[in-house]
Chains A and B, each alone.
Chain A
Amino acid sequence: MSVGFIGAGQLAFALARGFTAAGILAAHKITASSPDTDLPTVSGLRKMGVNFTVSNKDTVKSSDVLFLAVKPPIIPFILEEVGPDIEPRHIVVSCAAGVTISSIEKSWVISPGFLQTWCSVSAGAAFGTLIRCMTNTPVIVREGATVYATGTHADVEDGKLLEQLMASVGFCTEVEEDLIDAVTGLSGSGPAYAFTALDALADGGVKMGLPRRLAVRLGAQALLGAAKMLLESEQHPGQLKDNVCSPGGATIHALHFLESGGFRSLLINAVEASCIRTRELQHVADQETISPAAIKKTLLDKVKLESPSLSVASTSKVSLFTNKSPGGKKN
């Protein structure tokens, strides 16, 4: 199985790193593409042994599972560009926050070149399988939290295949699509909340006399350990908290401070804000207000396709095209 990433940023890097570390994929079976070769993640991907290209089409050709790992506003451009190259046998996984399955499927339909294919092949087989996914950066250390929802034309096996892939880099489960924005707010953004908390905890440690490195190490380990306890326990987190709080002791005094500051409420607010913003972004995307920079990037990509490709390290030249080019966007 080969995997491709349209987009070579943080998400592609994290997933590629995770998959290779898990041993579920060899690096040379992974392709990533981006018009911007200056991204720090690009050199990271190359160092890993991943095939990097500036041609999105090359990525599509050399992949069975295709991750759309670009920022949400770019998705429509990607679909327009590589839509015609996507075959029914592809499993397309969109990781874009707030981008619904239906909006992607709509874009697919309106792509002119693809419309031709759609008319000439039976409806169900015209689209590649589409799955919407929300993951998070700790996939990089194989402790990701991933959910996915399958599109209208996805088979059960396709979902299971993705689940296997993502389960190699952490927790993965299927959900109804309408929950994905909430997942974004909770575990999508969650690592950022944790990093903020850890930074502050380390500050607390430093204030009370610990060297910074040790404070960071201990804080991280404390959260890691607590999370592990909770995941492995039948008990409610409230009960686990009680177990740590001896009557009149240090911990309960500290917790009182947290409560006074509205700690819980802040976290609830954060998850809510992230979820609501995700929905807003989807709304924005639906209205097709694209930034000029994003437009420029995709234009640049098209230009590069006309000239000899810069670096295509792919050894695999096997064409996955079994049928003729569907009269699509020939540049």
Chain B
Amino acid sequence: MEAAELRVGFVGAGRMSGGLARGLLRAGKVPASSIMASAPSDRNLGAWRESGCRTTHCNLEVLQESTLVFLATKPHVLPGVLQEIRPAVGPHHVVVSLAAGVTLQTLQRLLPAGTKVLRLMPNLPCVVQAGAMVFARGSGAGDGEAALLKSLLSSCGLCEEVPESYINIHTGLSGSGVAYVYLFAEAMAEGAVKMGMPSGLASRIAAQTLLGAAKMMLETGEHPAKLRGDVCTPGGTTIHGLHQLEKGALRATVMNAVEAATERALDMAKD
């Protein structure tokens, strides 16, 4: 599939699909005119229209107008939507589901046999092209589809193909992980406020600190433990601060969080 003839559709126009679309647009991968989104009401569609995307209230129209289709509805709504669009799904379509907890097996069962189906789990920072996404391919999807998706979505951040079993882990780690980081940043800033810094400044510095640290991890490829050691002058401020974190068993608590979110994703998938 040539990029030129690529027409991208979004069934569901909520935050997640909006984030992906914005990423694609900012990176210039797809012109707005080649993007169409559907939603039951106008509530979310205004922003799409303002960006120059096409909108509709008819899911079938998205299938008819697009070759690459993202299914971005709430999980409990999806089975009904699949029933609805099934007649319009053809061998030329690439269907990518964002629905948490809906397995490839379920998707393939509800779509025509042989449909190229993939399952994607993004996270919110896709909006600012700093997302972390994983996807798994169904039996009908081949290397070409995987490569297309990876190439398109790399414009939104890190995009990796994984076995389907990793998707729930990704949810616990990175989907929800963004919230953990916000919590941590807030706490860091609060500490600074306690010590006398204005909150706005503290917040911006906390965010930049996280950004910088993450950038160093990604760019150096060094183990975080080593990077941590590099910051710790003997007897200095950092090691004193770190000791407090260890006393609070921060590591175990974070592990617990990832575990809990992942288990919840698994539970929800069973429902």
Contact = CB atoms under 8 A, between A and B. Distances in A.
B252 interface: yes
A127 B252 CA distance: 55
Interface string A17-46: 000000000000000000000000000000
Interface string A223-247: 0000000000001111100100000
Interface in B207-252: 223-226, 229, 235, 243, 246-249, 251-252
A260 interface: yes
B260 interface: no
B255 interface: yes
Contacts of A256: 252, 255
A259 B225 contact: no
B150 to A, nearest CB: 22
A264 interface: yes
A195 to B, nearest CB: 23
B252 A237 contact: no
Contacts, number: 41
A255 B235 CA distance: 27
B225 A260 contact: no
B249 A262 contact: yes
Nearest to B246: A265
Contact of A236 (B225, B243, B249): B225
Q: Residue among B225, B226, B256 with the most chain A CB within 10 A?
A: B225
Size class of the A contact interface (CB-based, 8 Å): 10 to 19
A269 B229 CA distance: 18
Nearest to A239: B223
B225 A239 contact: yes
Contacts of B256: 260
Contacts of A284: none
Contacts of A235: 223
A268 interface: yes
- A interface: dominant SS: helix
Contacts of B252: 256, 259-262
Contact of A265 (B223, B229, B247, B255): B247
B167 to A, nearest CB: 14
Nearest to A248: B169
A239 B247 CA distance: 22
Contacts of A239: 223, 225-226
Contacts of A268: 243, 246
Nearest to A256: B255
Given A256-B255, A259-B255, A268-B243, A238 B223 contact: yes
A236 B247 contact: no
A236 B246 contact: no
Nearest to B255: A256
A260 B226 contact: no
Nearest to B249: A262
Nearest to B244: A265
A259 B226 contact: no
A257 B224 CA distance: 21
A262 B247 contact: yes
Nearest to A241: B225
A267 to B, nearest CB: 9
Contacts of B243: 265, 268, 272
30 contacts: A182-B235, A235-B223, A236-B223, A236-B225, A236-B226, A236-B229, A237-B225, A238-B223, A238-B225, A239-B226, A242-B223, A256-B252, A259-B249, A259-B251, A259-B252, A259-B255, A260-B249, A260-B256, A262-B246, A262-B247, A262-B249, A264-B246, A264-B251, A265-B243, A265-B247, A265-B248, A265-B249, A268-B246, A269-B247, A272-B243
Interface of A: 182, 235-239, 242, 256, 259-262, 264-265, 268-269, 272
Interface of B: 223-226, 229, 235, 243, 246-249, 251-252, 255-256
Closest 7 pairs (CB-CB, A-B): A238-B225, A259-B252, A265-B246, A260-B252, A236-B226, A259-B251, A265-B247
